[in-house]
Structure 1
């Protein structure tokens, strides 16, 4: 049974303490959550998970978009740093019984072709694949949209993401299929899920337009979720959205519209 996972950054905002975000997600029936591992001290995350058990469905924050605070996935000069940070993220994930790390593709380098970006991305993923495989952790490559949120990003189509997975050829490197980004780019999300599901390891959902809670908008969320379920996937779908009002109102809408995807709501039905 597919379950929803709350995004403890996007669904709330930085003004809400981490513990309060976690407890709010738990109280509204979410059975899983995801967050950026660099933003939370591991002992705090371990403690709150012991206090109010939620599965940590995936962890973001290992790679970045431009040179700076985080390694860029396809930069050769960042490759050793990528390996070190991945090793730290893997240790963090294992402490939280999490099996997925999100890795964003990074912004394009002027003068590089798409093929060059792909070649270097694949080289980086092959470099860290033994670490991932040995730990039983999966790197999730997330194709983003270049029309609204991430102009200039490399890997802005599901097709390019699938090419990366094929060329990397590791069972521990898969695509994170985000229905919001794919809809913004004009892709047929139901067909893409059905045709590409073997390369997909995780899913995200938000409303188009606005990237708000997935209620209304252009995406037929139930058709999308049905297509995902038909592939045999029975894990988490992360709700990576910004609430259109306050986070409690958004959670209440989700609970009302999607009771089958929230644990406590299913029990009450």
Structure 2
């Protein structure tokens, strides 16, 4: 059965400390979680995991969206050396907490570049870090994002473009993060895409469409999508990357009641 992981940023408001988020997710019977690695010290994470055991499935925060965003851009050649240094730092962090995946976002479009130029720069960046990832046994997962609602002006807003990048890089440690929310908005055809390309998918996210809230109802038949993912032989977690409509703990309870087998 597909297992769910909590997203310790998206699922909680700013009133919760990181320790409270971790404890709440663990007490709600999540077996795993993900978070933005730059925001939390390694010693704190190790202490929290010792107290409330959860696996860590993904670390966000490797690449950014805009030039002034404080993170290297995947498609910006001037940032490539910076990116390599940051990826090595993220790999070191990930190895110490046994996290298998680092999330990469594609960044914003450069107005005077072709899509082919964006793609080549993305391929060049992944090719530069692929040897580090392969040596460490850590996977980079590129997340195509929707450009209609949440991320206007983003590069790589379809799964087809993300698959092109991954195929051109040709590393077993560079895959995509298939976000069911984003890809339903952009293209639909979720189940056929998952079945056709599952070997290139390293992780999944989900939220309700529309709204990006807890995935209960909405226009996606989530049980059918989860069944399709399970039938591919996927052994990882599906990340609950959503903003609750009400209290976080109540939304976790609703999810647990709807999908009891996906919790501990």
- Into which bin does the TM-score normalised by the smaller protein fall? over 0.9
> What is the match of residue 11 of structure 1?
11
Q: CA deviation at 1:14?
A: 2.2
Matches within 5 A, 1:175-194: 175-194=176-195
Q: CA deviation at 1:186?
A: 3.0
In 2, distance between residues paired with 1:249 and 1:50?
25
Q: CA deviation at 1:212?
A: 0.2
In 2, distance between residues paired with 1:243 and 1:139?
27
> What is the match of residue 44 of structure 1?
44
Q: Using structure 1 for the length normalisation, give the TM-score.
A: 0.97
> What is the match of residue 157 of structure 2?
156
Q: What is the CA deviation profile of residues 71-100 of structure 1, one whole-angstrom value per residue up to 9, with x for unaligned ones?
A: 001100000000111011101101110010
In 2, distance between residues paired with 1:135 and 1:241?
30
Q: CA deviation at 1:187?
A: 2.0
In 1, distance between residues paired with 2:66 and 2:215?
29
How many pairs align? 263
In 2, distance between residues paired with 1:86 and 1:46?
20
Quick check: 2:59–2:101 contact (8 Å CA) kept in 1?
Answer: yes
Does residue 118 (structure 1) correspond to residue 119 (structure 2)? The answer is yes
Secondary structure in 1 matching 2:177: strand
In 1, distance between residues paired with 2:209 and 2:110?
28
> What is the match of residue 75 of structure 1?
76
Secondary structure in 1 matching 2:45: helix
Structure 2: gaps of 5 or more residues: none
CA-based RMSD of the aligned residues comes to: 0.7
Matches within 5 A, 1:132-147: 132-147=133-148
Q: CA deviation at 1:36?
A: 0.2
Q: What is the CA deviation profile of residues 156-191 of structure 1, one whole-angstrom value per residue up to 9, with x for unaligned ones?
A: 000001000100000000010000000111321111
> What is the match of residue 93 of structure 2?
92
Structure 1: gaps of 5 or more residues: 264-269
Secondary structure in 1 matching 2:33: strand
Q: CA deviation at 1:145?
A: 0.2
In 2, distance between residues paired with 1:14 and 1:171?
36
Q: CA deviation at 1:15?
A: 1.8
Quick check: 2:158–2:187 contact (8 Å CA) kept in 1?
Answer: no
In 2, distance between residues paired with 1:14 and 1:137?
30
In 1, distance between residues paired with 2:216 and 2:188?
20
Secondary structure in 1 matching 2:184: helix
- The list of structure 1 runs, each at least 4 consecutive aligned residues, that deviate by more than 3 angstroms after superposition, is none
